[in-house]
């Protein structure tokens, strides 16, 4: 760890070298070296679907081919008390979550392989490999299964070669081709042809060129930076905007040199953002940014919210299992998740497309499940189409599927403003009974203002006020009292105000005018790092001011740039400032993504350090 003066000196030196953090014509600015990135669980599953030509919906995949049971025997399901669970879907594969970095996956600093993960990758490769035999895109010839033996082998090899190039996202090197061919011949010699095809595919799916994005770069240019090769750039672009491999158009663009220019990169980034694959990828980023990828685990208490949903706060018969509350909360959780996804997607792709709208827009979605949370003030918009999805929930140990319809809605402007007042975000910032101003405040500081607050001091959790229905004061008063000791104030003078801003929302995200019989006080002020001061009357006012804050917009750019590069960039990284300045001015989220994709940070890599490849 560098001492502070030394770090300052290093930053100054780097600024001097790079022209104050801006790209110069003489020497492009490269991001710090990024170690090879492994495909994240989402990237892996999307890539498999795209490689094999199947939709990103396991229900629409074909059944497991018979050969799959030989190569990758299905596990017998364990049994609950009533019935065994339904078999897992053939796609996606459920991998262990990445440890992550700052809440994001796909960042080099948050990827640490484990033996369990490697075993799962092996099982997944064996499972998906057999689907090559029924893939609409795998074989380069029609009717492979009925060809004569020699023609089958020829066709299979050509298909494998093409598959490997798509899986490795670049042409095969001569020696790679030789090794693959030798592996194929060994498999052919050892067993039936369909097994040989599947085993060879399984080998490809475990190879480093598939599972890792290795970026040796194009060192021919010399200097302290080098451009990524055309194939590396296409791959980086597609995982940034699609969470998946390049399509044929992008491969062709890379091959013909179209990605070598800023204009070419911008053109393709714009094309990719218009592709439906961009939508879930951009939503996926926002789930990680807001922490709403965990919303299916929120657990508001029946004793606090049962009556809101029309049931008693306690079980009628103490011996019974609680069948009602899980049946209510399952759809509520899914609805919260889908409302978040639809809000983010429509704001960015179909609405204003601005950061300001992301933090202030009062339109969104609701369902019958979440209608009690929004109350009578929400207005459905019948002129806009509804969205119906299938959800899965467990009640009394029996898993079931049901549909959930979400309605477009407009919410009162003094009650809802953008992502920070979504019930998903608010319920994640809460305990079972009471809202959690500390959880909410910390999220604003860390995720929106890039102010890392560190871990709480020992015993901090135990010092919080009881999470109880019966209280003598407001939640704000209790939290303020609990965090008033001297050991707490240094951090909580920063954490509490942005948390108190959302005291108009209870633990499930319902707007309230009063807390414990007293009017809610959601006012406060906050000084962001860099000196920007924000004074607000409530959460709505706060969200609007955050939306125009330079610090907050810069932070959003920093998160996106880190995500794009897979690297936990320092705030002072050269090249960031130009992206941030542009975003402050034009406020376009898609514009920001195009700017990142065409920046030197994105397409250049440093040379001459110990991580360099040859």
Partner 1 sequence: MISRRHLLQLGGLTALGAGLPGGALRAFAQGPAPTRRLVVVSHCHGWPYAAWRMRPTGKSDDQPWTLDLSSLAQSEFSKPLAPLYEHRRRLLALDGLSLATAELDTGGNRHDRGWIHAWTGNNADFAARDTRSTSASLDQLIAAHIARPDRLPSLELSVDAALEAGRPISYNLGGVRLPAESTPLGAWERVFGPASSGDAVGTRRRTTLDFAYDEYRELAPRLGATDRARLESHFGLVQRLGHRLEALATLACTAPARPAASFEKYDKRFDAFTDIIAAAFSCDITRVVSLSLGEMPTAEFGADKISDKVHKGIAHYIYDDPKKYAAMTAYLQHHARQVARLVSTLEAIPDAGGDSVMDNTLIVWGSELGDGWHGYGHYCPVLIGGSWAFKTGRYMYWPHQTPAEMRVPSQILAGGTTRLSGIPHQRLLVSVAGAMGLEVDHVGLKHVRGQRGDFIGLSGPLNGLTA
Residues 420-479 binding partner 1 (CB under 8 A) are 431-434, 461-462, 464-470
Near partner 1 by CB under 8 A, which window of 191-199, 253-261, 489-497, 593-601?
191-199
- Cα–Cα dist 155/159, whole Å: 6
Q: Under rule CB under 8 A, which residues in 282-301 are in contact with partner 1?
A: 296-297, 299, 301
Q: How far is the CB of 113 from partner 1 (least distance, A)?
A: 4
Q: Does residue number 482 form part of the binding site for partner 1 (CB under 8 A)?
A: no
Near partner 1 by CB under 8 A, which window of 84-92, 352-360, 363-371, 513-521?
84-92
Percent helix / strand / coil, the chain, rounded to 5: 50, 10, 40
Q: How far is the CB of 41 from partner 1 (least distance, A)?
A: 10
Q: Under rule CB under 8 A, which residues in 131-170 are in contact with partner 1?
A: none
Selected from 392, 452, 571, 585, the binder of partner 1 by CB under 8 A is 392
- Local structure of 101: helix, strand or coil: strand
- Cα–Cα dist 551/450, whole Å: 8
Near partner 1 by CB under 8 A, which window of 175-183, 264-272, 355-363, 402-410?
175-183
Q: Under rule CB under 8 A, which residues in 496-515 are in contact with partner 1?
A: none
Q: Does residue number 485 form part of the binding site for partner 1 (CB under 8 A)?
A: no
Selected from 53, 84, 257, 485, the binder of partner 1 by CB under 8 A is 84
Closer residue to partner 1 (CB): 68 or 528:
68
Q: Which residues pair with 308 in a beta bridge?
A: none
Kindly compute the dihedral angle of the four CA atoms of residues 583, 586, 590, 596, in this order, to the nearest 10 degrees.
Answer: -40
Closer residue to partner 1 (CB): 516 or 588:
516
Q: Under rule CB under 8 A, which residues in 543-602 are in contact with partner 1?
A: none
- Cα–Cα dist 195/70, whole Å: 9
Residue among 305, 322, 340, 330 nearest 403 (CA): 330
For tokens 């919080």, name the residue. 464
Residue among 283, 301, 401 nearest 349 (CA): 283
Q: How far is the CB of 68 from partner 1 (least distance, A)?
A: 12
Q: How far is the CB of 496 from partner 1 (least distance, A)?
A: 19
User: 436 with 461: CB under 8 angstroms?
Assistant: no
User: 224 with 207: CB under 8 angstroms?
Assistant: no
User: 536 with 428: CB under 8 angstroms?
Assistant: no
Q: Does residue number 38 form part of the binding site for partner 1 (CB under 8 A)?
A: yes
Closer residue to partner 1 (CB): 53 or 84:
84
Structure tokens at 277: 């694959």
Q: Does residue number 62 form part of the binding site for partner 1 (CB under 8 A)?
A: no
Q: Does residue number 71 form part of the binding site for partner 1 (CB under 8 A)?
A: yes
Q: Under rule CB under 8 A, which residues in 211-230 are in contact with partner 1?
A: 211-212, 214, 216
Q: Does residue number 481 form part of the binding site for partner 1 (CB under 8 A)?
A: no
Structure tokens at 343: 């809000």
Q: Does residue number 126 form part of the binding site for partner 1 (CB under 8 A)?
A: yes
Interior/surface letters 390-417, b for 16+ CB within 10 angstroms, e for the rest: ebebebeeeeeeeebebbbbbbeeebbb
Selected from 3, 60, 82, 383, the binder of partner 1 by CB under 8 A is 82
Q: Give the contacts of 349 (CB within 8 A, at least 6 positions apart).
A: 278, 279, 282, 590
Site string for partner 1, 303-342 (x = CB under 8 A): x--------------xx-xx--xx--xx--xx--------
Q: Does residue number 31 form part of the binding site for partner 1 (CB under 8 A)?
A: no
Q: How far is the CB of 341 from partner 1 (least distance, A)?
A: 14
Closer residue to partner 1 (CB): 473 or 550:
473
Structure tokens at 54: 């199947």
Near partner 1 by CB under 8 A, which window of 111-119, 133-141, 229-237, 261-269?
111-119
Strand stretches in 368-493, DSSP E: 379-380, 387-395, 398-410
Closer residue to partner 1 (CB): 329 or 578:
329
Q: What is the DSSP string of 277-337?
A: THHHHHHHHHHHHHTGGGGGG----HHHHTGGGTS-SS-SSTTS---HHHHHHHHHHHHHH
Residue among 596, 562, 614 nearest 226 (CA): 614
Q: Does residue number 281 form part of the binding site for partner 1 (CB under 8 A)?
A: no
Q: Does residue number 206 form part of the binding site for partner 1 (CB under 8 A)?
A: yes
Q: How far is the CB of 94 from partner 1 (least distance, A)?
A: 6
Q: How far is the CB of 180 from partner 1 (least distance, A)?
A: 8
Q: How far is the CB of 256 from partner 1 (least distance, A)?
A: 26
Kindly compute the dihedral angle of the four CA atoms of residues 31, 32, 34, 40, in this order, to the nearest 10 degrees.
Answer: -60
Closer residue to partner 1 (CB): 298 or 596:
298
Q: Does residue number 120 form part of the binding site for partner 1 (CB under 8 A)?
A: yes
Q: Give the contacts of 368 (CB within 8 A, at least 6 positions apart).
A: 331, 405
Q: Does residue number 403 form part of the binding site for partner 1 (CB under 8 A)?
A: no
- Cα–Cα dist 404/334, whole Å: 8
Q: Give the contacts of 86 (CB within 8 A, at least 6 positions apart).
A: 399
Closer residue to partner 1 (CB): 366 or 507:
507
Closer residue to partner 1 (CB): 69 or 263:
69
Structure tokens at 42: 């989402």
Q: How far is the CB of 468 from partner 1 (least distance, A)?
A: 3
Q: Does residue number 203 form part of the binding site for partner 1 (CB under 8 A)?
A: yes
């Amino acid at each position: 760890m560098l001492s502070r003066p030394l770090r300052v000196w290093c930053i100054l030196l780097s600024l001097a070298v790079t022209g104050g953090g801006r790209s110069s014509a003489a020497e492009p600015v490269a991001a710090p070296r990024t170690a090879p990135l492994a495909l994240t669980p989402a990237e892996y599953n999307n890539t498999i679907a795209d490689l094999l030509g199947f939709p990103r919906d396991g229900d629409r995949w074909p059944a497991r081919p018979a050969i799959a049971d030989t190569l990758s025997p299905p596990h017998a399901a364990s049994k609950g008390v009533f019935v065994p669970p339904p078999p897992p879907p053939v796609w996606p594969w459920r991998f262990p979550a990445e440890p992550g970095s700052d809440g994001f996956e796909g960042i080099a600093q948050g990827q640490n392989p484990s033996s369990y993960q490697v075993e799962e990758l092996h099982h997944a490769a064996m499972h998906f490999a057999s689907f090559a035999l029924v893939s609409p895109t795998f074989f380069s010839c029609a009717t492979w299964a009925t060809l004569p033996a020699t023609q089958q082998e020829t066709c299979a090899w050509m298909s494998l070669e093409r598959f490997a190039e798509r899986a490795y996202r670049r042409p095969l090197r001569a020696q790679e081709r030789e090794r693959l061919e030798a592996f194929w011949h060994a498999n052919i010699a050892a067993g039936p042809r369909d097994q040989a095809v599947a085993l060879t595919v399984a080998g490809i799916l475990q190879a480093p060129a598939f599972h890792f994005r290795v970026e040796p770069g194009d060192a021919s240019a010399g200097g302290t930076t080098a451009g990524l090769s055309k194939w590396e750039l296409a791959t980086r672009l597609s995982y940034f905007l699609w969470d998946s491999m390049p399509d044929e158009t992008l491969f062709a663009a890379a091959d013909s040199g179209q990605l070598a220019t800023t204009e070419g990169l911008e053109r393709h980034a714009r094309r990719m953002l218009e592709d439906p694959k961009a939508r879930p990828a951009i939503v996926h980023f926002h789930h990680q940014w807001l922490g709403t990828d965990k919303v299916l685990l929120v657990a508001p208490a029946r004793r606090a919210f049962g009556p809101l949903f029309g049931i008693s706060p306690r079980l009628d018969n103490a011996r019974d299992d609680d069948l009602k509350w899980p049946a209510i909360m399952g759809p509520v959780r899914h609805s919260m998740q889908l409302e978040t996804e639809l809000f983010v997607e429509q704001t960015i792709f179909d609405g204003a497309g601005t950061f300001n709208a992301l933090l202030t827009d009062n339109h969104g979605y609701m369902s019958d499940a979440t209608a009690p949370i929004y109350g009578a003030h929400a207005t459905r918009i019948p002129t806009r189409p509804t969205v119906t999805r299938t959800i899965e929930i467990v009640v009394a140990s029996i898993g079931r599927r049901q549909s959930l319809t979400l309605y477009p809605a407009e919410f009162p402007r003094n009650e809802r403003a953008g992502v920070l007042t979504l019930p998903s975000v608010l319920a994640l910032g809460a305990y079972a009974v009471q809202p959690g101003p500390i959880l909410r405040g910390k999220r604003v500081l860390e995720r929106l203002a890039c102010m890392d607050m560190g871990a709480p001091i020992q015993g901090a959790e135990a010092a919080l006020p009881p999470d109880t229905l019966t209280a003598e004061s407001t939640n704000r008063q209790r939290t303020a009292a609990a965090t008033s000791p001297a050991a707490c104030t240094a951090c909580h003078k920063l954490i509490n105000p942005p948390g108190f801003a959302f005291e108009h929302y209870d633990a499930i995200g319902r707007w309230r005018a009063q807390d414990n019989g007293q009017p809610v006080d959601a006012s406060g002020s906050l000084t962001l790092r860099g000196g920007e001061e924000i004074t607000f009357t409530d959460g709505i006012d706060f969200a609007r001011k955050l939306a125009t804050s330079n610090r907050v917009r810069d932070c959003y750019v920093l998160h996106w740039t880190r995500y794009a590069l897979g690297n936990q960039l320092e705030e002072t990284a050269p090249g960031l400032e130009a992206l941030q300045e542009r975003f402050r001015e034009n406020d376009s989220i898609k514009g920001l993504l195009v700017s990142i994709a065409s920046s030197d940070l994105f397409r250049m890599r440093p040379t001459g350090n110990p991580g360099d490849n040859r």
